[in-house]
Structure 1
């Protein structure tokens, strides 16, 4: 099955990492600036067929800003719910799981996947319902991270948290009312960091299945951060602690 990936960074990333998956590349006729040319050079090296299309034709292919590039790509291997524990167990003591409870904005998920890739996250987990999946917009915003970071949607998030706990993973949920800050929590060893949607936060059952709750200290007048910003802060605090450990 093929899917469309669009935008300069996303197309460039898949051509650099997995050129064999690119079936055809559509480029906006007349657009030959330096950034597009770099992508075309990658396509030429990979012997990918390049087709010029008028901008209205590209506009009709995808929803969102394509920046003059749309690639028809063989869909990446999808991880299933049954793969979750295998991924966690294989990572051993270095397992770092990002759990996103109720994130519905594709731009937020794409940004979270970029942070997850940079932080070396083992797997990103989200509920199947009331949560965005790997849409074309997510793939574009993720700039290639969605191609390499395992993403698993589960039927019952609370049950999946329990299964990870049984496999030795400690679950830390982010909540504004927590007594301890994230910086007071031990994030070394197998850990799952759980973040809820901006505003509503984690659902009740998700919260009840966390081993610990932690908060980000907020000195200003806003009550919460965008979930993708909070995700980056949390993941790199875990990275910082693991480097020192």
Structure 2
């Protein structure tokens, strides 16, 4: 599904005003070789608010609108983006253990929506996404989530690795799947503050990010078929966290 015209912010000054007023922006399309004081201001605001800028030919902009775009068009976000540290502080103040999901390289918006739906149903408080390399939280993602994306905090960061550092500084343990892992998902202790990294199908979690994780797990399967769809795998892990947090006591010999 494409972007609706209502989600476009066209022109330099309208975009500056939108960002300064706190409107969430998915990304900015900037015509190549465009310059000027207002463009410099937009670049500075984009860096400050972690909004990705994509350089495109003028033909790309002309396909999106017939209006005078002045070399720049932005996509307004359908969900607000929150600061990761502020979300951690808020969750901790509620007296509950954080349960977050980090998405690494997942580009299929239907998978993102399905993961968000499982996250909300299983009590996760936030989804962490990078500012580049992940599917846009557009109308299709929102529809696939059955509205769940509007009921969970979404944190957009410019570095997933720095986000892991922030999680660690706040006492949040990071988990990721690994087919050769020794522990099954149901052997983990997911009652503690936790963030689960879900990677792109085929590639999985990027090695540099997996290396920063605290615990590895596998999801056992019958037979030798390829693997679960990423949104199904996320649902399995998240439900295990829900089960442990609400319905079971963790034995002393599990990870601590």
After TM superposition, the score normalised by the length of structure 2 is: 0.64
Secondary structure at the residue paired with 2:118?
helix
Equivalent of 2:181 in 175, 178, 181: 178
Q: Deviations over 1:182-241 (max 9, x none)?
A: 111111121111111111100011101100100101222322111000010000001111
More helix by share: 1
Corresponding residue for residue 80 of structure 2: 77
Q: For 1:28-177, list aligned pairs within 5 A.
A: 75-81=78-84, 83-90=86-93, 92-177=95-180
Runs of at least 5 residues in structure 2 that lack an aligned partner in the other structure: 9-76, 250-256
Distance 1:105 1:93, change over 3 A: same
Runs of at least 5 residues in structure 1 that lack an aligned partner in the other structure: 5-73
Once residues 135 and 106 of structure 1 are traced to their aligned partners in structure 2, the CA distance between those partners, rounded to angstroms, is 8
Once residues 119 and 178 of structure 1 are traced to their aligned partners in structure 2, the CA distance between those partners, rounded to angstroms, is 24
Q: How far did 1:84 drift?
A: 4.3
Matched residue count: 177
Secondary structure at the residue paired with 1:224?
coil
Distance 1:197 1:88, change over 3 A: farther
Q: How far did 1:80 drift?
A: 3.8
Q: How far did 1:86 drift?
A: 3.1
Find runs of 4+ consecutive structure 1 residues off by over 4 angstroms.
1-4
Q: Deviations over 1:45-88 (max 9, x none)?
A: xxxxxxxxxxxxxxxxxxxxxxxxxxxxx954332455444345
Equivalent of 1:235 in 230, 234, 238: 238
Once residues 118 and 170 of structure 1 are traced to their aligned partners in structure 2, the CA distance between those partners, rounded to angstroms, is 21
Corresponding residue for residue 212 of structure 1: 215
CA-based RMSD of the aligned residues comes to: 2.3
Corresponding residue for residue 69 of structure 1: none
Tell me whether 85-94 or 160-169 shows the greater mean CA deviation: 85-94
Tell me whether 218-227 or 234-243 shows the greater mean CA deviation: 218-227
Query: Do the aligned residues in 2 keep the contact of 1:92 with 1:190 (CA within 8 Å)?
Result: no
Indicate yes or no: 2:181 matched with 1:187: no
Query: Do the aligned residues in 1 keep the contact of 2:199 with 2:206 (CA within 8 Å)?
Result: yes
Distance 1:133 1:85, change over 3 A: farther
Once residues 92 and 210 of structure 1 are traced to their aligned partners in structure 2, the CA distance between those partners, rounded to angstroms, is 24
Q: Deviations over 1:148-179 (max 9, x none)?
A: 11111211101111111110111111111211
Distance 1:160 1:184, change over 3 A: same
After TM superposition, the score normalised by the length of structure 1 is: 0.66
